[in-house]
Amino acid sequence: MNPDLLPLVDCHLDLAMNALEWNRDLTRPLAAVRAAEAHLRDRPDRGRGTVCLPELRRAGVAVCVATQIARLEHEAFSPVFGWRSPAQAWAMTQAQVAWYREMEAARELTAITGRAGLDAHLAAWTAARAAGREGPVGYVRSLEGADSLVTLGHLERAWSDGLRALGPAHYGPGVYAQGTDTTGPFPARGLELLRRAGQLGLILDVTHLSDDCLRQALELYAGPLWASHHNARALAPHQRQLPDDLFQGLVARGGVASVCLDAWMLVPGWERGRSTPAAAGVRLERVADHIDHFCQLAGDARHVGIGSDLDGAFGTEQTPADVDSITDLRALPGILRARGYRDADIAGILGGNLIDFLRRALP
């Protein structure tokens, strides 16, 4: 197996957020993106980004799940910035759609909204890769947090415009669901969101849901489910991570959990702003620990993928010490092979499992 020819699928990248809110020109080389903001001090990850479109192509990312994200401010819980009304948040998500459309027009990205489009893109990507050429990166659009949906009619509009995955919550309480660091079930509006999303055929992303909401989703949601960027709570104890029983519930529903590279989600005891990847021993081996934990629970390697979340409001100050850019994900096959994983299983974890899932889930 030549790992360089394997299609890599990343189940969670905040590309439009980086382009619009971080003001990064992702069409430029990574060194240029970093240099353009090296003088800035407004965010801890300035000059430390790991993702841009040329780097995605160099890494061999055939398909990614690219997000729209715009949460609301909630007076009792504001760990991250939010908009003050659903209309403002909706408008921000539409600006993000406009950026994706511009990247399509520039042939940087190819929108994937159905099975036929997925297969056509993968065939073209494989042929170009074998010939030593680079083409557009395919992307499936996902909404991270449903706060921006002013009404359920807005969800239907988003589906018609190409949205194919939906995460009802982000951090804290949300309009439609309880998110990270909260408890409790879906409110009535959230239950109606699940019903309508299931009718449309959206992939439901259970990442960031409270445990109570996640259990409800596994029981009630009629459509396909995945966890786009979710590590094992057994290895990094925090409510943000996925407990063993809920991972097994996801497996029973045919879902995939994709592990992410945010350092605080990889090891216990991480202190934001104080811990460093080198001092905490955070390397790609720790990512492999989470992969292996989920594979052992499932009894096979078919329910695990990669959802790196790289540049999801953090940079190299909070990635594994041996990850300088997304291209370093290409070291994972060697790490997994040394642990006894077969080539077919490695190919599945790098992208095949998510491709199979999308072939089942997309219209």
86-121: pLDDT as tens digits = 999 999 999 999 999 999 999 999 999 999 999 999
- Looking at every residue in the chain, the average pLDDT score rounds to 96
Residue 35's SS3 state is helix
CATH assignment at residue 84? 3.20.20.140
Provide mean pLDDT across the span 326-340: 97
What is the residue whose two structure tokens read 């299931």? 198
The pTM (predicted TM-score) of the whole model is 0.97
Token pair belonging to 303: 């329910």
pLDDT digits (tens, 9 = 90+) for 206-237: 999 999 999 999 999 999 999 999 999 999 99
Provide mean pLDDT across the span 187-206: 98
**Residue 239, pLDDT score:** 95
Backbone angles phi, psi at 276, to 5 degrees: -125, 150
Task: List all residues 6 or more positions away from 123 whose beta carbon is below 8 Å from its beta carbon.
Answer: none
pLDDT digits (tens, 9 = 90+) for 155-168: 999 999 999 999 99
Helix (H) or strand (E) holding 163: strand 163-167
State which amino acid sits at residue 198.
G
Q: How far is residue 357's CA from residue 307's CA, in Å, rounded to a whole number?
A: 14
Yes or no: say if 77 and 158 are a contact pair by the CB < 8 Å rule.
no
More confident residue, 2 or 120: 120
Provide mean pLDDT across the span 340-353: 98
- Residue 48 DSSP class: -
Yes or no: say if 14 and 23 are a contact pair by the CB < 8 Å rule.
no
Alpha carbons within 13 A on the beta-carbon side of 121: 27
**Residue 81, pLDDT score:** 73
- Structural domain total, the chain: 1
346 confidence band (pLDDT: 50, 70, 90): very high
Residue ranges making up the domain that contains 37: 3-361
Yes or no: say if 179 and 210 are a contact pair by the CB < 8 Å rule.
yes
